[in-house]
Structure 1
Amino acid sequence: MLDRLDLLVIGECVADIVRLPGAPDQVHPGGSPANVAYGVARLGHGATLLTQLGPDDNGRLIRDHLADAGVEVRTDGATAPTPSAAVTLDRAGRAAYAFEITWTLAPVSLDRTPHHVHTGSIATVREPGAATVLAAVESLRTSATISYDPNVRPELMGDHDAAVRKVERCVALSDVVKASDEDLDWLYPGQEPERVAERWLAAGPAVVLVTRGGDGALAVVPGGQVAVEALPTVVVDTVGAGDAFMSGTLHALASHGLLGTDGRERLRSVDRATVTDVLRHAAACAAVTVARSGANPPDEKELEAALARC
């Protein structure tokens, strides 16, 4: 039974330039896919990130950050500047973003087949790189399970209807999908997140997760819905919270032997108790992350400590 995951993440790295009133800018390594790779590696799994990084200070900062957690970085050799995002935090720690990003990922040969592939965010909607990501996922899904997080950034999504079609194509290719209630509200204005999750489930995934900030999280599976509350915590900022939730999800699913092609069928018949345990791990990862600055997810000991408190 799989417990240590060999994960391939395909997606962008972004230098988050955090701006607070009266304080100097702080640069943090970021990018939703990169954050997931980092978070999963911190939890003891093998992680490779296929991405683009420029030969600049921000690129070196991100490479060093990922290497510290044991993430193997693969690039297509592009030399454009490392993408950046100016992150402005309000008094509640909520983040607003202004991006400078290009995404032109070219195909890259892999030296091994991973157990699981994760993608999402800007990488799956911004062309021309999005076409490369989709082709890679389509080719790998016969030998690996797939997870996807749309991580909607309205400024970068382009035409709304075209973006929805791209998101729905990725959903249909995936075994595990995670989205925030804010993501779903942008994609399907006025529709209840639970109904959207049910519709996505019918399109192909085994599990659809919906995060709801301080209101906890919801999982929709063929057997129905499972909800958990958010863990009590003092919020410093929300940067990377959803990515930490995704990392915790993958960690827990791997621990239960539900990822990789050998776990795919078990995932499709997962019981409510296991889903609850997965949600608890994911929520605990998010709670640790929001309690400190930047996308800084827990390691295994910190996750165990957070779970012991709930």
Structure 2
Amino acid sequence: MTRLAMTVPVDRFPLEYSALRHASWMGCAVVGGAYNIASALAALGDSPQLCTQVGKDDAGHAIRTALKRRGLDGRGVVTTQESPKTVIFVDSEGRVARNAWNSETWVEYPMERYIERAVEADLAIVTSHPFGKPFLGVSKELLKMPVAVDMHLAADLDNERQRPWFESADVLFCSHERLPGRPEEWIAEVLRRYPGCRIVAVGRGAAGCVMGLWDGRLVEIEAVTPRPIRSTDGAGDALFASFLHGWLASGEPVEALESAVLFAGWKIGAESAAEGFVTRAELAALRRAYPMRTRVGSWR
């Protein structure tokens, strides 16, 4: 998904009613999982091929401009009536609350365009939004590609609507915010129920990240924040994208997650979800400057 967002600072949550507020700053930016992840991968030197829908409204014109600026526009970006939009409130500690709107005028995505762009790819990153469901079967069955999915808040393993994503994912990330229990318990249950899933990770915000691997290892990495936090919006997308970059490059999931935690920790010093990304060389320099705290155990 690709959206136009207005970011507004607030003093605290819950937000009290006021007929008029004067903000110290505001931001208008293109965000959304597709754009955030593609932007992060591009910053790290990868060549993401973006497949998304953008409206022909004013918001869509702004989104197209941003895509072109980052080299992400192309045949994979198709036109629909209206673009999704979001208002993001961020408090003084960087916590965010979103008010999102999705258009109901989506067109059926022309899957031949996805196939054109995916045939030489190493990995398919598929949104957990219903828009992504048709991409799962094409990626796994036709193209025989590994699939990575970030479920965000969709942690219910008994929800039949979410089952196709769990069944298709080789790599699966999720937020801790709506887990029914402890992250390590949820990870173990996913790996038991879905043996095709090789890597399962849960982002825990200020507590860092925990990851379970197909070989039984459970990896816990503490968060690192090298600079002051401005907004945590997009932190999960940054963690996910950086992990995939490192894992594909080295084949070492623990090392990749350590770098990803640091990548996300730096990114949250920016105001927008799609800003604050470091390059591969800059990330390597940060790794030398900031030692990571990692514990390895077992989820079995």
Provide TM-score, normalisation by structure 1. Answer: 0.78
Instruction: Please report how far the alpha carbon of residue 132 of structure 1 lies from its aligned counterpart in structure 2 after TM superposition.
Output: 2.6
Higher relative contact order (CA 8 A, sep 6+): 1
Identical-pair percentage: 24
Return the alpha-carbon distance in structure 2 between the equivalents of residues 135 and 278 of structure 1: 27
Find 1:118's aligned residue among 112, 125, 142. Answer: 125
1:291 match: secondary structure: coil
Find 1:108's aligned residue among 108, 111, 116. Answer: 111
Q: Which sits farther off after the overlay, 99-108 or 281-290?
A: 99-108
Q: Which amino acid aligns with 1:237?
A: S
Q: Is the 8 A contact 1:13 1:51 kept in 2?
A: yes
Change (3 A) 1:73 1:196: farther
Find 1:208's aligned residue among 190, 195, 200. Answer: 200
In the other structure, the counterpart of 1:7 is none
Change (3 A) 1:308 1:167: farther
Alignment of 1:1-310 (within 5 A): 12-21=1-10, 22-23=22-23, 25-75=26-76, 77-102=78-103, 103-109=106-112, 110-112=115-117, 113=119, 114-121=121-128, 123=129, 125=130, 129-140=131-142, 142=144, 144-152=145-153, 164-182=159-177, 184-185=178-179, 189=180, 191-202=181-192, 203=194, 204-221=196-213, 222-233=215-226, 234-256=228-250, 258=251, 274-295=252-273, 296=275, 297-310=277-290
Q: Which amino acid aligns with 2:95?
A: R
Instruction: Please report how far the alpha carbon of residue 207 of structure 1 lies from its aligned counterpart in structure 2 after TM superposition.
Output: 0.6
Instruction: Please report how far the alpha carbon of residue 45 of structure 1 lies from its aligned counterpart in structure 2 after TM superposition.
Output: 0.8
In the other structure, the counterpart of 1:263 is none
RMSD: 2.4
Instruction: Please report how far the alpha carbon of residue 153 of structure 1 lies from its aligned counterpart in structure 2 after TM superposition.
Output: 7.6
* Structure 1 runs not aligned, ≥5 long: 1-11, 155-159, 259-273
Return the alpha-carbon distance in structure 1 between the equivalents of residues 288 and 61 of structure 2: 36
Q: Is the 8 A contact 2:133 2:164 kept in 1?
A: no
Q: Is the 8 A contact 1:246 1:282 kept in 2?
A: yes
Q: Is the 8 A contact 1:47 1:72 kept in 2?
A: no
Return the alpha-carbon distance in structure 2 between the equivalents of residues 62 and 140 of structure 1: 31
Instruction: Please report how far the alpha carbon of residue 130 of structure 1 lies from its aligned counterpart in structure 2 after TM superposition.
Output: 4.5
Q: Is the 8 A contact 1:208 1:219 kept in 2?
A: yes
1:53 match: secondary structure: strand
Q: Which amino acid aligns with 2:35?
A: A
Change (3 A) 1:83 1:280: same
Return the alpha-carbon distance in structure 2 between the equivalents of residues 178 and 153 of structure 1: 10
Return the alpha-carbon distance in structure 2 between the equivalents of residues 146 and 130 of structure 1: 12
* Structure 2 runs not aligned, ≥5 long: 11-21, 291-300
Q: Which amino acid aligns with 1:132?
A: P
Alignment size in residue pairs: 266
Return the alpha-carbon distance in structure 2 between the equivalents of residues 105 and 280 of structure 1: 38
Which has more helix, going by share of residues? 1
Instruction: Please report how far the alpha carbon of residue 77 of structure 1 lies from its aligned counterpart in structure 2 after TM superposition.
Output: 3.8
1:91-144, CA deviations, whole angstroms, 9 ceiling, x for partnerless residues? 2111111111135442331324122100124x2x3xxx34433443344551x2
